[in-house]
């Protein structure tokens, strides 16, 4: 079967703050941008063409980033003029679509593991659309399928609790017949017009479903980075570069450790697998890098830092303290004695403020999310789920609580 792959990376990523200076799929984890991993996955299959839909606001910058990477050679770039949802993004590429085509979200770096199942189902059942599904315990957050056997009979977007037709939700992988484009064009344009179109087609019994037995990458909120990194760890090639310097007193627990070129691990540090320590990164004396942690290229934890299941971005420095279940972007400076609380006293779910609304993260462990270029003074602590926007200043001797926009003076 000949097919094209349309990758959607045109949204505003507004819920991904404070890491949304460009599209969320350009966030770098373990030395690679998420979109790079997705392109790698697609290239393991046999598409006629790869079409990457980018948003208007950052189109030139994102295209330039991609063009510097040979991996994007022959990828067709399309600009979505307005962030009007997935259907609008697909229709932005309409004039280039000449075959049946996959539509995937930009974080679907496991695409190569799914493609054969979709094609088989699509051809055997002669579907107009074949979609992927996974089970969920939170149907109120997703598009939920009504199902009869192996056919979709309807889609309900974010049903009220107790009103969901099943526990199977839509995931960001679709296989469309080319003639579905006409149905998309005939549907009133809205944020959910793709789901509306699928619901209409399903009434004719032409939407098939593929149940996926693996975790599907979700990238909507900033804390989703913690889950994405775990999926990447499952596929990462580990090893210690010969140019890395590791002192003899360092304790390394486990084999799933990556240490990049020129990295340095000082005396009495403890490294637990899985862990990623990038090129030129520094783990200072008496630091502990607990399992699931990442230091990107040039990142430093300088002395007596306890880093637990957290991400430290490129060229960021943490002087000392505890960083737990947190995400710290690039070029951040954190002064001595920093402490991130990562659990509520009552151990209930942690809430965070997203676009001005109190949002349940679904997590009982979550620290702080700090945007690019933030400066944090000494003896600062943070409450669970707090957010600090990029290029803010956090004054000494305070507790960060809540959400702060970029450029804030947090006093």
**Tokens standing for residue 259:** 């240490």
Q: Give the span between the Cα atoms of 228 and 34, in whole angstroms.
A: 9
Cβ contacts of 355 within 8 Å, gap of 6 or more: 14, 15, 17
**Tokens standing for residue 388:** 């600090």
pLDDT at 106: 96
- Find out whether 16 and 24 touch, Cβ atoms under 8 Å: yes
DSSP, collapsed to helix, strand or coil, labels residue 112 as: helix
DSSP, collapsed to helix, strand or coil, labels residue 26 as: helix
Residue 58 has pLDDT above 80, yes or no: yes
Residue 88 has pLDDT above 70, yes or no: yes
Residue 189 has pLDDT above 90, yes or no: no
Of the pLDDT bands very low, low, confident and very high (cuts 50, 70, 90), residue 158 is confident
Going from the C-alpha of 300 to that of each of 282, 335, 376, the distances in angstroms are: 5, 12, 15
pLDDT at 43: 97
pLDDT at 135: 87
CATH of domain 238-410: 2.160.10.10
Model confidence over 233-262: pLDDT tens digits? Answer: 999 999 999 999 999 999 999 999 999 999
Distance of CA 179 to the CA centre of its chain: 31
DSSP string, 59-106: HHHHHHHHHTSGGGTTPEEEEESS---HHHHHHHTGGG--SEEEEEET
**Tokens standing for residue 96:** 């280039």
The residue-averaged pLDDT of 55-67 equals 95
Query: Degrees (nearest 5) of the Cα angle 240, 246, 247?
Result: 160
Q: Give the span between the Cα atoms of 194 and 8, in whole angstroms.
A: 13
At the fourth CATH level, which superfamily is domain 3-211? Spore Coat Polysaccharide Biosynthesis Protein SpsA; Chain A (3.90.550.10)
Same fold for the domain at 3-211 and the one at 238-410? no
Q: Tell me the CA end-to-end span of the chain in Å, nearest whole number.
A: 60
Q: 226: closest CA among 294, 132, 131?
A: 294
pLDDT at 147: 87
Model confidence over 366-384: pLDDT tens digits? Answer: 999 999 999 999 999 999 9
- Find out whether 41 and 30 touch, Cβ atoms under 8 Å: no
Give me the percent of the chain exceeding a pLDDT of 90: 82
Give me the percent of the chain exceeding a pLDDT of 70: 100
- Domain ranges, ordered by start, for the chain: 3-211, 238-410
Does the pTM of the predicted model rise above 0.85?
yes
Residue 215 has pLDDT above 70, yes or no: no
Model confidence over 122-141: pLDDT tens digits? Answer: 999 888 999 998 888 888 87
- Find out whether 168 and 147 touch, Cβ atoms under 8 Å: yes
64: number of CA atoms within 13 Å, CB side? Answer: 5
Model confidence over 279-324: pLDDT tens digits? Answer: 999 999 999 999 999 999 999 999 999 999 999 999 999 999 999 9
Going from the C-alpha of 4 to that of each of 47, 72, 76, 294, 403, the distances in angstroms are: 5, 15, 11, 34, 41
pLDDT, averaged across the chain = 94
pLDDT at 365: 98
- Find out whether 80 and 10 touch, Cβ atoms under 8 Å: yes
Cβ contacts of 32 within 8 Å, gap of 6 or more: none
Q: Give the span between the Cα atoms of 310 and 331, in whole angstroms.
A: 16
Model confidence over 100-110: pLDDT tens digits? Answer: 999 999 999 99
Q: Give the span between the Cα atoms of 398 and 381, in whole angstroms.
A: 7
pLDDT at 241: 98
- Find out whether 378 and 393 touch, Cβ atoms under 8 Å: no
Q: Is 188 exposed, middle or buried (0-12, 13-18, 19+ CB in 10 A)?
A: exposed
- Find out whether 381 and 338 touch, Cβ atoms under 8 Å: yes
């Amino acid at each position: 079967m000949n097919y094209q792959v349309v990758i959607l990376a045109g949204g505003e990523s507004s819920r991904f703050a404070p890491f949304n200076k460009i599209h969320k799929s350009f966030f770098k984890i373990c030395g690679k941008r998420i979109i790079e991993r997705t392109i790698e996955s697609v290239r393991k299959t046999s598409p006629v063409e790869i079409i990457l839909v980018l948003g208007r606001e950052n189109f030139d910058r994102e295209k330039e980033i991609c063009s510097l990477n040979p991996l994007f050679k022959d990828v067709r770039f399309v600009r979505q003029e307005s962030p009007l949802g997935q259907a609008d993004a697909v229709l932005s590429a309409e004039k280039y679509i000449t075959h049946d085509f996959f539509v995937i979200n930009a974080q679907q770096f496991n695409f190569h593991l799914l493609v054969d199942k979709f094609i088989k189902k699509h051809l055997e059942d002669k579907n107009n659309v074949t979609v992927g599904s996974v089970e969920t315990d939170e149907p109120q957050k997703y598009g939920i399928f009504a199902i009869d056997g192996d056919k979709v009979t309807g889609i309900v977007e974010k049903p009220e609790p107790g009103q969901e037709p099943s526990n199977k939700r839509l995931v960001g992988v679709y296989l469309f017949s080319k003639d579905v484009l006409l149905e998309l064009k005939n549907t009133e344009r809205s944020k959910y017009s793709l789901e509306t179109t699928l619901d209409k087609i399903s009434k004719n019994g032409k939407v098939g479903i593929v149940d996926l037995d693996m975790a599907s990458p979700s990238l909507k909120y900033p804390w989703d980075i913690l889950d994405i990194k775990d999926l990447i760890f499952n596929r990462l090639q580990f090893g210690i570069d010969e140019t890395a310097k590791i002192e003899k007193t360092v304790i390394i627990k486990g084999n799933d450790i990556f240490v990049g070129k020129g990295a340095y691990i000082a005396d009495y540090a403890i490294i637990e697998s899985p862990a990623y320590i990038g090129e030129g990164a520094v783990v200072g004396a008496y630091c502990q890098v607990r399992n699931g942690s990442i230091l990107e290229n040039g990142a430093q934890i300088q002395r007596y830092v306890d880093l637990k299941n957290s991400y430290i971005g490129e060229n960021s420095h943490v002087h000392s303290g505890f960083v737990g279940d947190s995400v710290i972007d690039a070029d951040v400076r954190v002064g001595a004695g920093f402490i991130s609380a990562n659990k509520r006293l009552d151990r209930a779910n942690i809430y965070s403020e997203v676009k001005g609304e109190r949002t349940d993260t679904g997590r009982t462990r979550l620290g702080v999310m700090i945007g690019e270029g933030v400066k944090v003074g000494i003896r600062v602590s943070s409450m669970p789920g707090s957010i600090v926007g990029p290029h803010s200043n956090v004054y000494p001797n305070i507790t960060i609580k809540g959400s702060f926009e970029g450029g804030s003076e947090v006093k």
